[in-house]
Amino acid sequence: MSLLTGRTVVVSGVGAGLGHQVAAAVVRDGGNAVLGARTEANLAKSAAEIDPDGAHAAYRATDITDEQQCVELAELAVERFGRIDAVVHVAAWDSHFGGLEDADFTTWQSVIDVNLLGTLRMTRACLPALKACGGSVVFIGTQSSVAAPSQVRQAAYAASKGALTSAMYSLARELGPHRIRVNTVLPGWMWGPPVQAYVQFTAQTEGVAESEVLGRLTERMALPDLATDGDVADAAVFLASDRARAITGQSLLVNAGELMR
């Protein structure tokens, strides 16, 4: 039996990268994927690719800063598949760069509203269905929340994701009596569209080969390759499944061994 046979997983933040890979892994492993993101065209494209006959995927345009839209995505999952067994939170604002000295705290508040409060809104919207049968909440955090990268400054992103990881501990205690598990996956440098774009931009800016830029990243890893979007998706699907039934309140680094804790 596959990991998620008969199970329904809500996936927020489905675009071309990690969200798509998580949704694809859900369907691959026998589950039903309910996709949410702000751009409906991206959702339609992803759903068509992972589930051409439409039997195991549904989607609805969803902005996780809007509580009603979160509720409607959760309702879609129940209407279409009768239950919610897990929610994997990929939706995030990760494109704001800078540190403290140049901080625009108005933008920081928006980043926090998406990455922390938006994730919690979406979780709360799924709670009634999750309580009915128990299940799993999987946050996608970042290694940057526990070890700042030297290549880029993303203080707002790291702070918001660090707060989310801290919230995980409280939620694991609060929701545990309902047999709802809450865990976090912490990716490091992850080969997918954002890192590919970073490598290409840096190579063009410095006038060097992309392989040189990539080599600077991989030389710090215990393993000789970066983790991929697919590797992180597989970790999230594991935590969403009953194979992880005794795991809650935990953070799992998926980073090819760059940082070990």
Residue 115: HSE in the Cβ half-sphere, 13 Å Cα cutoff: 27
- Do the beta carbons of residue 77 and residue 129 sit within 8 Å? yes
Q: Are 238 and 126 in contact (CB under 8 A)?
A: no
Question: Is 157 marked active-site?
Answer: yes
The amino acid at residue 28 is R
Q: Which of 59, 157, 169, 198 is catalytic?
A: 157
Q: Quick one: angle between helices 193-206 and 210-218, nearest 10?
A: 120
Residue 224, phi-psi category: left (phi > 0), alpha (psi -120 to 50), beta (remainder): alpha
| Cα–Cα distance measured from residue 137 to residue 181, given in angstroms and rounded to the nearest whole number | 6
Q: Give the sheet arrangement for strand 86-89, strand by strand.
A: 57-61, 32-37, 8-12, 86-89, 135-140, 180-187, 251-254
Phi-psi category of residue 30: left, alpha or beta, with phi > 0 → left and psi -120 to 50 → alpha: left
Q: Which residues are catalytic?
A: 157
